[in-house]
Structure 1
């Protein structure tokens, strides 16, 4: 009979192996979106990998963020003819030029038309990539045989949504935007009286004129979906999905929406049971800076540090803007760390450090950082909230103005339009955001954001694994996505009731007319 020590050794060596064997690691197919969206998706992928899940990632051959090799996932590389990065860089350059030159309203309309054209082309490129996948019989067979538990995708481009439908797999969305507009508006009631449409630059407290503007922007989004974006997906659906499909309805079929926002950041609005708010899930405690960067930051003393970056797509601001900004920085008592790629401004001061890249989150989490000069991307704004750093925002395109507006409304940031930047306006804006009230307000938002029972990332992973365990989450979906628009809005009921009332009123009128006519005939008969 084995000794007590032998039994103990057996338990120590064998039991962990038995436990590990009993754990189920799922198989997940990820169809992400490149650029800053990939930064978010990568955070989720790394956490899923750490929990023992196997992950395959579909990537374009010309991807500029999604690497061919990774310890966290297995890539499935698909040829793509045109680089989407070029689409957006071209748009950004035109948008900055139009803003800076103070173009007329007609020029801005022309710019909006070009933006819609660029987005339409980008969706067409992605649909062509999906067609290559579905036309590759060997690849499709491998995807079926892999027996994935679910598809995790970003529906700003809906190619992953269509693929999930084709493979008949449960679907989880890592989402803020869908093919056109805000994701929540596609799934939850969104009264235009107090839910601002993206791009409108409005809050949830609107006057009559602003509500009218909100309605017009909503019409613009509907037009974009129906005529600029929808046709590319309709062609794919008609060819590959039995019975065809509508891409918005496919998006609405998703089991879980991991929504990259929360109500510390966003305005209150109706929501649905399968929407999980994970705003700021990419944030984590700041790590120590490199020795040279730490020395520069600490040398600022009591005045602290200003950091500035305008995102990955912005290589450089217009030269005149860069010169104005550099001259203001040179006069500030703070030290400045500025991510600037381009010609070095001649007005640059000794207090300003120019870098090609910066550890943004670690700098925001440093106690010496006083102000964040940013373009207003979702990631940067949520990181500013998490770390409690007020923002001077210079919105350039897409959702950036709306993101910054939410901070400005709460007294935690200030918007400075590119067209309005001068040495005087930029200096005034910086000094305003350096005031204690801005830091107090952003730190209040930070406390609210952090006061959660579990972290947003843990929340996200729980619901992904929930869908894997239960083969979907159909019980959390409403039937709204199956209903035609007239049934959803009860137009058919209203028309039926209106018709019934009209029939009743007409019948009553006809009856009275008949009675009146009969009475007249009887009266005449008596007179004769």
Structure 2
């Protein structure tokens, strides 16, 4: 009996040790980025970890109350409120409708640069107020967090982690300087296309020139948007010898929200962990009314359309054309749309304020997904093997859809020229040309064929950082090197100098010997 009691006690103690959770401080990005961060937060909560989310007072999607986390609301604006961002979205759509000319592209880029500059400026004002709030900072220190989890598309979480001296895990596709890999991994421009260039890893000479020009353009954007905001802030709070990107590059683990079914092959690093599709999961049963509508489609199936969290409605004339095109098809359509109900809407189309996207994409009757090109939607389409019709609108969406088009699983339309005829023809092509479905099935099979689920892989590495107080052994120290050192320019210069010195000594020796030989011959002749 005594031994049995000891055994039971040992089991209880071991079980307690296994479920002993850590404490995670999360500094998220609002909008669609919050949707995938929330998936990680919920999984951390289910594993017994305590999660605290820092949110600004003007947070849009990030709610102060949740069963999955505690929140700390900072009494400051971060520039991502619904009204301001809605105005930016409307301006972008208006400019995109003007056509695909060079000047329209430049106007879009300039407006985007201004928007990002202002968002970074407001964020750093908030961070300055936080760092100056001794009471708040002491609360954060006293909480004894195990790590900071943040999305480096904004730099607040990175700055806070270093201020608190905590290990840092990034939920990343973008940093404040652009695509995540570019911050830490070698990026040969000969076969790694710059996002936005809409090129593959197989580039002609002309395309390589274009890729280089895109790279230069992104550097100029950084000089205008990021450097003027982050350089003085980091010098003021972390010292004049610290460059702000060093703080990003010193992160322990980079949880990358893509993989090589979506990304072109490229160099990577040991602390980059790919978790593309971590938010994807098997479809759940649909609500009865929605299931009845889907089943009523018969052999023709269903088309699902949604343009993401940021775009709730399109200009009225485009909405009328899209509805008219849908009405001419035998398929049933489920369309997320919050604007005015179009007059051309057919009896085959169901309009909803919200739809269960993952569950609909996983339904066997879904034939095509009409989307805007957000990363989350692209990955869910790949996971469920549903081909795409694209209507990319802003940010990385055109580039995301270019990747899908290059793989033969999507038909892409230009927002400036879309109308009922070309929209209908694009739908019919994807619906009735078998190659779209077949290639998407191949892509889905590649994506799913992994030794462990992407979310489980992400959890392992977050908990790894908790257990070991970081992952410094996986992190290169190259970020501490200057550009001259990183590219071995100093070594090349030294070796060149040695070669030139040896060559100069050789020439001098030959010249000396030649002169001696000439002088001896002269003496003999005399």
Q: State the TM-score, normalized to the length of structure 2.
A: 0.94
Q: Which moved more, 1:343-352 or 1:373-382?
A: 343-352
How far the C-alpha of 1:525 sits from its partner, in A, is 8.2
Which of these residues, 263, 270, 273, is aligned with residue 276 of structure 1?
Answer: 273
How far the C-alpha of 1:193 sits from its partner, in A, is 0.8
**Which deviations, in whole Å up to 9, do the C-alpha atoms of 1:264-319 show, x marking residues without a partner?**
12111111111110000001111111111111111111101101111111122122
Contact 1:158 1:247 (C-alpha < 8 Å) held by counterparts: no
CA distance in structure 2 between the aligned counterparts of 1:115 and 1:518, rounded to whole angstroms? 73
Which of these residues, 466, 481, 484, is aligned with residue 483 of structure 1?
Answer: 481
Corresponding residue of 2:259? 262
Contact 2:383 2:447 (C-alpha < 8 Å) held by counterparts: yes
Which of these residues, 349, 353, 358, is aligned with residue 355 of structure 2?
Answer: 358
Corresponding residue of 2:244? 247
Contact 1:27 1:55 (C-alpha < 8 Å) held by counterparts: yes
Corresponding residue of 2:182? 185
Which of these residues, 333, 353, 362, is aligned with residue 330 of structure 2?
Answer: 333
Corresponding residue of 1:450? 448
In structure 2, the gaps of 5 or more residues are none
The yes-or-no answer on 1:194 pairing with 2:191 is yes
CA distance in structure 2 between the aligned counterparts of 1:81 and 1:25, rounded to whole angstroms? 32
Q: Secondary structure at the match of 2:186?
A: coil
Aligned CA distance change for structure 1 residues 428 and 104 (closer, same or farther; 3 Å): same
Corresponding residue of 1:21? 16
The yes-or-no answer on 1:78 pairing with 2:74 is yes
Q: Which moved more, 1:20-29 or 1:272-281?
A: 20-29
Corresponding residue of 1:494? 492
CA distance in structure 1 between the aligned counterparts of 2:322 and 2:99, rounded to whole angstroms? 19
Q: Which moved more, 1:215-224 or 1:135-144?
A: 215-224
Corresponding residue of 2:382? 385
Contact 1:307 1:371 (C-alpha < 8 Å) held by counterparts: yes
In structure 1, the gaps of 5 or more residues are none
Corresponding residue of 1:324? 321
The yes-or-no answer on 1:56 pairing with 2:45 is no
Q: State the TM-score, normalized to the length of structure 1.
A: 0.94
CA distance in structure 2 between the aligned counterparts of 1:77 and 1:380, rounded to whole angstroms? 29
Contact 1:57 1:75 (C-alpha < 8 Å) held by counterparts: yes
**Which deviations, in whole Å up to 9, do the C-alpha atoms of 1:344-392 show, x marking residues without a partner?**
2221111111111111111111111100000010000000001111010
Q: Which moved more, 1:314-323 or 1:516-525?
A: 516-525
Which of these residues, 119, 126, 129, is aligned with residue 132 of structure 1?
Answer: 129
**Which deviations, in whole Å up to 9, do the C-alpha atoms of 1:132-183 show, x marking residues without a partner?**
2111101111111111111111101011111111111111110011112110
Contact 2:100 2:416 (C-alpha < 8 Å) held by counterparts: no
How far the C-alpha of 1:513 sits from its partner, in A, is 5.2
1:113-262 superposed matches below 5 A: 113-242=110-239, 244-262=241-259
Contact 2:56 2:77 (C-alpha < 8 Å) held by counterparts: no
Q: Which moved more, 1:345-354 or 1:464-473?
A: 345-354
Contact 2:283 2:362 (C-alpha < 8 Å) held by counterparts: yes
How far the C-alpha of 1:17 sits from its partner, in A, is 5.0
The yes-or-no answer on 1:36 pairing with 2:32 is yes
Contact 2:99 2:416 (C-alpha < 8 Å) held by counterparts: yes
CA distance in structure 2 between the aligned counterparts of 1:115 and 1:522, rounded to whole angstroms? 79
Corresponding residue of 2:461? 463
**Which deviations, in whole Å up to 9, do the C-alpha atoms of 1:214-259 show, x marking residues without a partner?**
1111112222223321221222212222455222221111111110
The yes-or-no answer on 1:308 pairing with 2:315 is no
Which of these residues, 348, 370, 374, is aligned with residue 373 of structure 1?
Answer: 370
Corresponding residue of 1:413? 410
The yes-or-no answer on 1:97 pairing with 2:85 is no
CA distance in structure 2 between the aligned counterparts of 1:228 and 1:292, rounded to whole angstroms? 48
Q: Which moved more, 1:103-112 or 1:469-478?
A: 103-112
How far the C-alpha of 1:496 sits from its partner, in A, is 1.6
Q: Which moved more, 1:318-327 or 1:497-506?
A: 497-506
Aligned CA distance change for structure 1 residues 187 and 87 (closer, same or farther; 3 Å): farther
Q: Secondary structure at the match of 1:419?
A: coil
Q: Secondary structure at the match of 1:197?
A: coil
Aligned CA distance change for structure 1 residues 520 and 406 (closer, same or farther; 3 Å): same
Q: Which moved more, 1:106-115 or 1:499-508?
A: 499-508
Contact 1:237 1:244 (C-alpha < 8 Å) held by counterparts: no
